[in-house]
Amino acid sequence: MVDVTNNGTTLFALFELSAPVKALVEKLQQAGIPLERIEVISPLPLHDARVTSPPRIPLYALTMTGGFAGIAVGLFFAAGTALFYPIMTGGKPVVAPPVVGIVSFETMMLLAIVTTFVAMVIRLRRGSRHAVVRDSRIDDGAVAVSVQMDGGDTQPAAVEALLREAGAFEIKPVRKDRVRMRRDAGKDAEQEGLWLWLGCAALALSSITAYSRDMEEQASYQSQEAPRRHSPPGSIPLTSRAIVSSAPVTPDEQLAAGTRVFRINCVHCHGPEGGGDGPVAGYLRDYRKICRPLMSNDSPWPLSMRS
């Protein structure tokens, strides 16, 4: 990894994907270059060349921490809020264990995944502070190895020889000023990023508008105020039933109105087809007697209720 304050030179070598990178890294280490100063950049993960030291805290430990925190959050919301502000509903327990389980499962997963993601992003960013050289040929299928020498006992020439031996098709030194320039570019990118995030935030904020408060916004009229509200359509005056009789005219309408009344008042015992098989019928002691008229063939109720 390149340290800009260091006076040493950095060698940057390109290899084919099939190059024995792992062996090379081992040789470089034997030559006295610490692992932190060697960087292998590839367009795809090189599983055979694990040239990094494992992180101090493994990622899965963070995941599990997040998961446990999530369980706690789930317990708090599903059980805690119910306990602190108990609302009785129909003889159900205030805290229902299966519910707490389900909610906690979701919050556990949520926090575990988000924690893993955040930790990963932080680690990626930390890693990218060091590596500096990008070469478009890497994306086209080359592996780059950059070796940073501290200028002391290791000889650039010896390192170069090692790189050549491993099959590097190009080796070039990376100058310090180039490194610095890259860093500034990185800073620019960060600023651009900041603006982008700010823009997104502004957009999100602008989408939040005042919420309606239904009742407060509805027109309300006191009893003596104009305009006078009339009773809703279909209401029947207390004093007269005249309106009722004027309702259905055609036979179809009459049948429909009758069906409706039948459904509301009769169907529970007499059943949808008038067969005396309504869901409540079984609870009546002498239901056969009650339903007989409707079960006969000349019954006026061959109603098809299923349409």
Partner 1 sequence: MTNPAPADGPQIPKINRDLLEPLLSTHWSYFLLVGALAGLVAAGAGAWSYQFRTGIGQTNLHPPVFWGVYIASFIFWVGASHSGTFISGVLRLTKAEWRRPVTRIAELMTFISLIIATLFVFYHLGRVWRWYYLIPYPNQREIWPNFRSPLMWDAMAVFTYATASTIYLYLPLIPDFALMRDRIEDWRKPLYRVLSLGWQGTQHQWQVLETAMRIITPLIVMVMVSVHSIVGWDFGVSLVPAWHSTIFAPYFVVGAVHSGVGLVVIGMYILRKVYHLEDYIGQEHFDKMGKLLLLTTLGLAYLYFAELLTIWYGNIPDHMWVVDSLLSGPFAVPFWFMVACVYVIPLLALTLPAFRRRPLGVMVIGVLINIGMYIERVLLIVPPLSYPRLPFNWDTYVPS
Partner 2 sequence: MTIVAGSLALAILLYVLAVKFVPIISVWEEKEGLMHGGRHE
Query: Which residues, 42 to 61, sit near partner 1 by CB under 8 A?
Result: 42-46, 49-52, 55, 58-60
Query: Which residues, 215 to 254, sit near partner 2 by CB under 8 A?
Result: none
Q: Site for partner 2 (CB under 8 A): how many residues?
A: 5
Supply the minimum distance, in Å, between the C-beta of residue 251 and partner 1: 22
Supply the minimum distance, in Å, between the C-beta of residue 253 and partner 1: 17
- Whether 162 contacts 32, CB under 8 Å: no
Name which position in 81, 180, 256, 257 contacts partner 1 (CB under 8 A).
81
Name which position in 151, 193, 248, 300 contacts partner 1 (CB under 8 A).
193
Supply the minimum distance, in Å, between the C-beta of residue 240 and partner 1: 28
Name the token pair of 44. Answer: 């795809």
Q: Site for partner 1 (CB under 8 A): how many residues?
A: 87
Query: Which residues, 128 to 167, sit near partner 2 by CB under 8 A?
Result: 141
Name which position in 8, 43, 167, 275 contacts partner 2 (CB under 8 A).
43
Q: Nearest-CA neighbor of 174 among 30, 4, 21?
A: 4
Residue 68 vs 169, nearer CB to partner 1: 169
- Draw the binding track, 211-250, toward partner 1 (x: CB under 8 A; -: no contact): xx-x------------------------------------
